[in-house]
Amino acid sequence: MNGQTSYDYIIIGGGSAGCVLANRLSEDPNVSVCLLEAGGPDRSPFIHVPLGLARGMMVPAFNWMFMSKPQERLRDRQIFMPRGKTLGGSSSINGMIYIRGNQQDYDNWAAAGNQGWGWRDVLPYFVVSENNETYGENPRHGTGGLLNVTYINPPNPVLETFFDAVENFQYRRNPNFNSGIQEGFGLYQVTQKNGRRHSTATAFLKPAKNRKNLTIITDALVAKINVENGTASGIDFIHKGQSRSLIANKEVLLSAGSIVSPKILLQSGIGPGAELQKLGIHTVLDLPGVGKNLQDHANAIVQHKTKSRVLYGMSWGAVPRQALSVFEYLFFRRGMFGSNMVEGGGFMKTNPNIAHPDIQFILTPGYRKMGEIVSAGHGFQLSAILLRPKSRGEITLTSADPQDNPVIDPKFFAEESDLDTLLLGLKEARKFCSAKEMNIYNGFELLPGEDVKTDAQLRDYVLNTSSAIFHPVGTCKMGSDRLAVVDDRLRLRGIEGLRIVDASIMPTIISGNTNAPTIMIAEKAADMIKEDARR
C-alpha cells in the first residue's frame, strides 16, 4: 500500500463488478482510482484451471464460505452460500457460464420505473464487454471486448446424447441462449480463454493494473463508509491488522456483492433504523430496504450413477484416460481439465401460457456425492433450477463488528408456489435422465431413487436436498418504492457521492446465471459515473 490517502473514486470489492469499474474509470489518466478487495491475489491454479472449481469453491483463502441461517422449509438445514473472496470475486470461483438472462427481465425493470434498464438499453453494454469467439459478427455479440466468451472444447459426449433425448420429448435445440431466444436445450457459452478461466480480474483488472492512477489493495476488510453532511467522504478499513482510512474526492462505489454490500451499509449506519439501534449502531440514514429483497435460485437434482467411463469421475479403470487428459490440457488446453463441469442444459416453461421460461436445467457430465469434492465412480447429474422465485429473504447483522459474518436468510420456499414450480421441473429432469437414449451409459437413478414416486415423496425429497445455485441478488434494490436503496443511476437514496454497483441492485432476479448481468451493470455504471462527473 502506498502512502496516498485520498482518491477520486474508491471501489469497495474487487469482484465481478469492481474489476470492471477499476478498468473503465482508470481509463481517464486525470482521475485517481483505488480498488479494495477483502481477499488476496488470484494466483491459485484452482482458480485458473477450469476443473479446479470443484476444489476452489471450498478454499477459505478465496471464498467467504458463508452459510445461511437454518431454513425453516428445508428441514432447518443451513445452505452453503459461497462468495468469491479474491481478485475477480465470484467470477474467480463460479461455473463460468455466460448467460445474459431473458430480455423480459430487463424490460420488467424498466416497466417498474427504472429508466434506461430495458433490454435495448442494456444490450450495448453486454456487447461492449464481449469478445465472442463464435458469434462475433452478430448484432447481439461483440468482438474485441475484454471478456472472452467461447464454448467448452470439446464437450463431454453425454451432452449430445442428452440433447437427442430431449428432442424426442419435443423440446427444441438452441444453439445460442444469448441470441434473444432462450427456450430450448444446448451447450452453454463460458468465460474462458485458451482453456483457462477468464475472470474479471484476468479480463479487466490485469490490463489496467500497471496504470499509475490505479491503486489495488488486497486483504483490505472495509469496516465503514464515512458520511459527512449527507455525503460519503471516505472509508475505514482494516489492512494487515491495522485500521486505516481513505478519503473519496468524488465517489465511493460499493461493489462487494449481494451479501457483503448490505453488510457494509448496515455497519456504516445505513439501513433499517430499529435494527441498527438494537446492535448499538448509530443510524446515519434510516433506509428500510437495505438487506431486504434477497433472492436466489434454488435447485433440485436428479443423479445417475453409471458403469460407463465416458462420464467424468474417479476409478482405477479411468486412470489411463485421466493421465492422458493431463497431457491434453498441458499441451493443448482442452479436454477434461478445461471443463467447467456444467457444460450444457436448457430452459423450459412449466406452463405454455407464461411469457418466458421459469425453469433452467444444467447437466453435469460427472459424478460426485453431495458434500464431497471428489467421489469414486462415474455418472451424470441434471439440476432443475427455479428461475423466478417469489420468496424473499434478507441479510442482517449479528453485531457491529465488521469481522463477524452476516446472517443470511434466503427464506427458500416461503412461497408455496416456488416449490410447486420446481417440482414440475424436477419431474421433467427425471424424465430426461431416464430416456432410452441415456441407457447407453448403463446407469441407474441414485437420486431421488426408485422408491420416490409420488408427488408427496418428491416434495419431501426437494425439501430435504434442495440447495442454492449461488446467485444471490436484490439486497440493495434499484427503484423508487419504500424498499428501494438506489435510484436508476445506482446512487444511494439519501446520501450523495455513494453508489452501489453489483448484483444487489437487481430489483428482481435474472432468469439465468448472474455473472454476465453483473458485468453489464458495472459497464453501464461506469458510463453513468463518467457522465455525471462531466455535469
pLDDT in tens, 5-41: 999 999 999 999 999 999 999 999 999 999 999 999 9
Question: Residue 1: what pLDDT?
Answer: 63
- 336: confidence class by pLDDT, cuts 50, 70, 90: confident
Confidence band for 331, pLDDT divided at 50, 70 and 90 = confident
Pairwise CA distance, residues 247 & 293, whole Å: 31
Residue with cell 430499529: 274
Domains, the chain, in order of start with CATH, read 1-96+196-294+395-402+472-503+513-535 (3.50.50.60)
| DSSP-derived pairing of the beta strands 66-67 and 80-81 | antiparallel
The overall average pLDDT reported for the chain is 94
pLDDT of residue 318: 61
Task: Say how far apart CA 466 and CA 80 lie, in whole Å.
Answer: 11
Neighbours of 404 (CB within 10 A): 12
Question: Stretch 99-127: mean pLDDT, rounded?
Answer: 97
CA distances from 53 to 68, 292, 387, 394, 401 (A): 21, 30, 23, 27, 31
Q: What is the mean pLDDT of residues 122-141?
A: 93
Which tens digits make up the pLDDT trace of 363-395?
Answer: 999 877 765 555 678 899 999 999 999 999 999
Cα(395)–Cα(261) distance, integer angstroms: 10
pLDDT for position 102: 97
Catalytic residue among 141, 198, 304, 471: 471
What is the chain's alpha carbon radius of gyration, rounded to the nearest angstrom?
A: 23
Measured at the CA of 187, the angle between CA 182 and CA 191, to 5 degrees, comes to 95
> In the annotation, is 471 catalytic?
yes
List pLDDT tens digits, range 150-199. 999 899 999 999 999 999 999 999 999 999 999 999 999 999 999 999 99
Q: What does the pLDDT read at residue 78? A: 98
The whole-model pTM stands at 0.97
Please classify residue 386 by burial: count the beta carbons closer than 10 Å to its beta carbon, then call 0-12 exposed, 13-18 middle and 19+ buried: buried
Look at the block and give the residue holding cell 482510512.
245
Mean pLDDT (whole number) for 496-520: 98
Q: For the segment 213-239, what is each residue's pLDDT rounded down to a tens digit?
A: 999 999 999 999 999 999 999 999 999
Grid cell of 388 as nine digits? 423466478
State the pLDDT at residue 136: 80
Instruction: Write down the pLDDT at residue 312.
Output: 79
Q: Tell me the mean pLDDT in the region 107-129.
A: 97
**Position 492 confidence tier, pLDDT thresholds 50, 70, 90:** very high
Q: What is the pLDDT of residue 373?
A: 53
**What's the pLDDT at 374?**
56
- pLDDT interval class at 137 (50, 70, 90): confident
Q: What is the pLDDT of residue 325?
A: 72
Q: Is 316 a residue whose pLDDT tops 60?
A: no
